[in-house]
Structure 1
Amino acid sequence: MHLTIELPNRSETLASNRERWAEVLADRELAVHGYRVETNAFGQVIMTPPAGGPHSSRQSQIAYWLQNRRGGRGLVECPISTSDGVRAADVGWYSVERYAHVRGQLAFELAPEICVEVESPRNTELELRIKRQLYFDAGAQECWQCDLEGRMSYYLSTDPETKRNQSTLCPDFPNTIED
């Protein structure tokens, strides 16, 4: 069996995500749960339990390193408007120039140059691969992955399926992030 899914065009998707994300952010019931909140292509809310200590530590260290060494904006829980709803990259890094294009948006309609996923025990490789593709489709140049042991791997928009040992935008980024 072959399944074909036709998605709305990018401008329709952005408008829908913009409207739905504003509703999600205004929903006081969602705020009390403490879960990570994202949406899918249908505007349905996806809730994930909060991250554990090692995940949070690595997330903060990556954001700090990027902002401290590269300037721009290192953002934690970075909301990105994708073709499959609003997804939150664990870390997003925007250059000063690119951030000027998204400043003030509730969900960023142009992905950061770098999107980082810090793995949790519940993540699957398929889920991480899909998120990378969504981020690339939204304009990311690189997607990074930090595994459960803190080891980094890098993917480029020009070759999204090939795992690399080094970033092209930040070749001096550490290979391992301690928790």
Structure 2
Amino acid sequence: MNWQEVCEHPELRNLSFKIELNRQGQLIMTPVKVYHSVFQGEIAALLKAERKDGKVLTECAVRTHQGTKIADVAWVSAETFQRIKDEVECSVAPEVCIEVLSTSNTAEEMEDKRSLYFANGAKEVWMCDRQGHLRFYVPGAEREDSLLFPDFPAAIDYDS
């Protein structure tokens, strides 16, 4: 199965799960909890407030050599957006791909996703843990902050 088929399949349209494809074209479904949605929304709002020269994408499908991966939140420059805006899945990764970790994610899985996003052109990959703490990565290194969003907080407040 490819991403176009997933998007057009009538039985997959209204699932309450996040869907991705592995390299064999098999569906991977992950249920999402409330905290996950809160962090996605807060991160998206902060990205939009900090930079107006691009687009914020949620549940962003990114084509990789190991199947379609879904970044929970992404930021794409205006230039890259013009390239991908009419695609079913992003042929190149947005400049920033962000994952909100769930209880089912493993460290190995997240390392693989980071590598896949970087291999497809991402400049930064961020990981938000279940407490709202962010980790910022560039190819080959972890940073204390983001290069593209230097004022972005290192933690998201879940309760306020």
Partner amino acid, structure 1, of 2:69: R
Superposition misfits of 4+ residues, deviation over 4 angstroms: none
Partner amino acid, structure 1, of 2:145: Q
Check if 1:164 corresponds to 2:143.
yes
User: What residue number does 2:120 align with?
Assistant: 138
User: What residue number does 1:65 align with?
Assistant: 46
- Deviations 1:139-167, CA, capped at 9 Å, x for gaps: 1000001111111111102x2xx322111
TM-score scaled by structure 2?
0.93
User: What residue number does 1:56 align with?
Assistant: 37
User: What residue number does 1:128 align with?
Assistant: 110
Larger Rg: 1
The alpha carbon displacement at 1:91 in A equals: 0.6
Judging by fraction of residues, say which structure has more helix: 1
Check if 1:175 corresponds to 2:151.
no
Q: Which has the higher contact order (CA 8 A, sep 6+)?
A: 2
Unaligned segments of structure 1, at least 5 residues: 1-18
CA contact 1:79–1:89 (8 Å) conserved in 2: yes
Give % identity.
Answer: 40
Q: Distance in 1 between matches of 2:14 and 2:130?
A: 28
CA contact 2:58–2:73 (8 Å) conserved in 1: yes
The alpha carbon displacement at 1:106 in A equals: 0.7
Match of 1:56, SS state, is helix
Partner amino acid, structure 1, of 2:41: S
- CA RMSD in angstroms comes to 1.2
Check if 1:101 corresponds to 2:83.
yes
The alpha carbon displacement at 1:21 in A equals: 1.0
Q: Distance in 2 between matches of 1:116 and 1:35?
A: 18
Q: Number of matched residues?
A: 157
Partner amino acid, structure 2, of 1:126: E
